[in-house]
Chains A and B, each alone.
Chain A
Amino acid sequence: MRRHLPLLLAALLATLGAGTAGAARVELLNASYDPTREFYVEFNRAFAAHWKASTGDEVRVRQSHGGSGKQARSVIDGLPADVVTLALAYDVDALRRNGGLVPANWQSRLPDNSAPYTSTIVFLVRKGNPKNIRDWSDLVRPGVQVITPNPKTSGGARWNYLAAWAWAIRQPQATPASAEAYLRRLFANVPVLDSGARGASVTFVERGIGDVLLAWENEALLARSALGAGRFDIVMPSLSILAEPSVAVVDKVVDRKGTRRVAEAYLRFLYSKQGQELAAKHHFRVRDPQVAARSRAEHPEVAMVTIDQAFGGWDKANAAHFADGGSFDRIYRR
């Protein structure tokens, strides 16, 4: 017996080792944009429980938040994010353009353009709508102050800008020149250009500047219910844009860390009933028709254009409006 002791010990250790390997502990890092903070706190907890129940493994998801473009840059510069959940496809695509961290077909790897939840652009106005702001045409009236962030630095602001453009170009006898003239007048009414969406919300809500804030619908609903209960109304313009915040697994990172399986499951869980319900709870417009039907009251029907249909995709929209000498540069030229 004594002679077998080392062997026994070794066998014991081996089983112990196998046991711990069976219930692995994994850590994921999700690089997201600003207004998803509250949503992902809850979603991560739900996913950890789901993953534990289905595989027995522990998973802890850490979050990083910031402006969408800044987050993409961090990942490009080496932030080891397993997944990115950003404000617009253009920022995810930046991971492909700068260093090929995701493959060219990243957007078709998941359903619905890799955007499990969506939102749209709405007007947040002061209680009772004292300036009677109903539609895009009201934003260029003299004496109306509009708050929107700088589209060069903020993903959310690009949606605002493109929504305004989409409306202007659909007016009778509109031309690109008349749409640009409309945006010039609109931005002449903007007293502060914050660099990000949250900054613009703070300017409007906390500092009390401006008559109308162009905002993500989910941010506007959050502002109305949480930040300033009863101080704001939401106005739905006649036409808006379908804002699709995109998600993607960062291939280069998950392949290095060996976390592909759990990272993919994490993103697929966003499309599950539970994931969709949580997104709906945090004021997003979700894809699941049944879940969406339940929050219809919060999200009135509105005519929406999409980035692909109205602008031919982000690359074209960016080149025409936000690149050097694009329409946004031109409207500030004297």
Chain B
Amino acid sequence: MSRAAARRVLPGFGLTLGYTVLYLSLVVLIPLSATFLRSTELGLLRFWEVVTAPRVLASLQLSFGASLVAALVNAVFGFIVAWVLVRHEFPGRKLVDALVDLPFALPTAVAGIALTALYAPTGWLGTWLEPLGIKVAFTPLGIVVALAFIGLPFVVRTLQPVLAELDRELEHAAHGLGATGWDSFRLVVFPTLWPALLTGCALAFSRSVGEYGSVIFIAGNIPMVSEIAPLMIMTRLEQYEYAEATAIAVVMLLLSFGMMLGINALQLWAQRRQGAR
């Protein structure tokens, strides 16, 4: 499509930019600034006291840690799922493809209840895992399981289009030049895919950090052990401490934003490096 044609599809730049700014303000910026404003009611000292309380620190560590582990698990298994769905034709492929979206569509509380019922010591899987000494429900491991469930579609759906566009000629060429299958994956396929993989993981990760509904049932919610950061916010709200709740929210927001920024910078750097080669 030529540039002239693109210009005619939508009205002028000024108008669309205006809408963009207005829409972003209404949907994203205003609620976020309200959060920041609310937390300023506390004063610096009290803010610091609230966000550095041992239980809050433990919960932040758990939320970010479990989300990271879940994202890494999804990086491996989401990659395999995406690979199989793009590279292979098999009966029922469309069905499996649709299944990937299920964690998107399912109300998170339903997912949480289902996972808890499954992994509780009396559940279908729990009865088999318990004698082996593996406790899933009501432990941090259960939180990782729930977050892996939630994050899967982010990784698969980001990888799929990139995988589909990957030029198979390159692999054939690599093979022709004497590369083994592993070499061509490592040197040809993976370098093209990894920015998309990183994006997928970053999306899954940031979604997981704030996830409440699917986690809360399986977490066990024991202070210092299995309390997630969003629960600490809910706990503050239950005690009518709105400003304290938003203080924790602000810290989560800043941490998430910092990580997203870092990941974007990493991607930019990778693309530049690839372009330079």
Interface of A with B (CB < 8 Å)?
A: 67, 69-70, 72-73, 76, 94, 97-98, 150, 152-154, 190-195, 199, 207-209, 322-324, 329, 332-334
Q: Is B174 an interface residue (CB 8 A)?
A: no
Tell me whether B200 is interfacial, beta carbon within 8 Å: no
Contact across chains for A152 and B54 when beta carbons are under 8 A apart: no
| Residues of A contacting B235 in the complex (Cβ-Cβ under 8 angstroms) | 150, 152-153
- Chain A residues with Cβ below 8 Å from B122 are 207-209
A-B contact pairs, 21 of them (CB 8 A): A73-B238, A73-B240, A97-B240, A98-B240, A153-B234, A153-B238, A154-B238, A192-B138, A192-B220, A192-B221, A194-B221, A195-B238, A207-B116, A207-B120, A209-B120, A209-B121, A322-B239, A329-B223, A332-B222, A333-B224, A334-B224
CB of B221 within 8 A of CB of A150, answer: yes
A72 CA to B231 CA, complexed, in Å = 18
B224 to chain A, nearest CB (A): 6
Closest to A153 in B: B238
B5 at the interface (CB under 8 A from A): no
User: When each residue 214-226 of chain B gets 1 if its CB lies under 8 Å from chain A and 0 otherwise, what string results?
Assistant: 0011001111100
Smallest beta-carbon distance B50→chain A, Å: 8
- A34 vs B45: C-alpha distance when bound (angstroms): 37
Q: From B54, B55, B116, B138, give the contact of A191 (CB < 8 A).
A: B138
Given A152-B235, A195-B238: 11 more A-B contacts, CB < 8 Å: A69-B238, A97-B240, A153-B235, A153-B238, A190-B222, A191-B222, A195-B216, A207-B117, A208-B120, A322-B239, A332-B222
Interface residues of B (CB under 8 A from A): 53-55, 116-117, 120-123, 138, 216-217, 220-224, 231, 234-235, 237-240
Docked CA distance A207–B224 (Å) = 24
* Residues A332 and B238 in contact, CB atoms below 8 Å apart: no
Taking the closest CB of chain B, its distance from the CB of A319, in whole angstroms, is: 11
- Contacts of B138 on A, CB cut-off 8 Å? 191-192, 209
A73 to B239 Cα, complex, angstroms: 9
Identify whether the interface residues of A are mostly helix, strand, loop, or mixed. Answer: loop
Chain B neighbourhood of A199, CB < 8 A: 217
Complex contacts, B237 vs chain A, CB 8 Å: 73
B138 to chain A, nearest CB (A): 5
Report the Cα distance A27→B81, complex, angstroms: 55
Q: Does A195 contact B222, Cβ atoms closer than 8 Å? A: no
Q: Which 10 residue pairs are nearest across A and B when measured between Cβ atoms?
A: A332-B223, A208-B122, A69-B238, A193-B221, A153-B238, A207-B120, A192-B220, A152-B235, A192-B138, A94-B240
> Is B55 within 8 A of A332, CB to CB?
yes
Whether the Cβ atoms of A329 and B55 lie closer than 8 Å is yes
Bound state CA distance, A324 and B240, in angstroms? 13
> Most A CB atoms within 10 A — which of B55, B121, B221?
B221
Which of A72, A194, A207 neighbours the largest number of chain B CB atoms within 10 Å of its CB? A207
CB distance from B192 to the nearest CB of A (A): 45
State whether B222 touches A193 (Cβ < 8 A).
yes
When distances are taken between beta carbons in the complex, the residues of chain B under 8 Å from A69 are 238-240
A323 to B238, CA, bound (A): 11
* Neighbouring B residues of A153 by C-beta, 8 Å: 234-235, 238
Contact A70 B238 (CB under 8 A): yes
Contact B224–A191 (Cβ < 8 Å): no
Instruction: Give A101 Cβ to nearest chain B Cβ, in Å.
Output: 13
Residues of A within 8 A of B220 (CB): 191-193
Give the residues in chain A near B238, CB-CB below 8 Å: 67, 69-70, 73, 152-154, 195
- List B contacts of A76 (CB < 8 A): 240
User: Please, how many angstroms separate the alpha-carbon atoms of A195 and B120 in the complex?
Assistant: 17
A195-B234 contact in complex given A209-B120, A332-B223, A334-B224, C-beta closer than 8 Å: yes
Complex CA distance for A199 and B224, rounded to whole angstroms = 21
Q: Chain B residues with Cβ under 8 A from A334's Cβ?
A: 224
Minimum CB–CB distance for A102 against chain B, Å: 14
Chain A residues positioned under 8 Å from B116 (CB to CB): 207
Candidates A152, A190, A208, A332; contact of B239 at CB < 8 Å = A152
Docked Cα-Cα span, A94 to B238, in Å, equals 11
What are the residues of chain B within 8 A of A333 when measuring CB–CB?
A: 54, 224
Closest Cβ–Cβ distance, residue B220 to chain A (whole Å): 5
Contact residues in A for B216 (Cβ distance below 8 Å): 195
Min CB distance A122 to B, Å, is 23
Specify which chain A residues have a CB less than 8 angstroms from the CB of B121 in the assembled complex.
Answer: 208-209
Q: Hey, which chain B residues are within 8 Å of A72, CB to CB?
A: 240
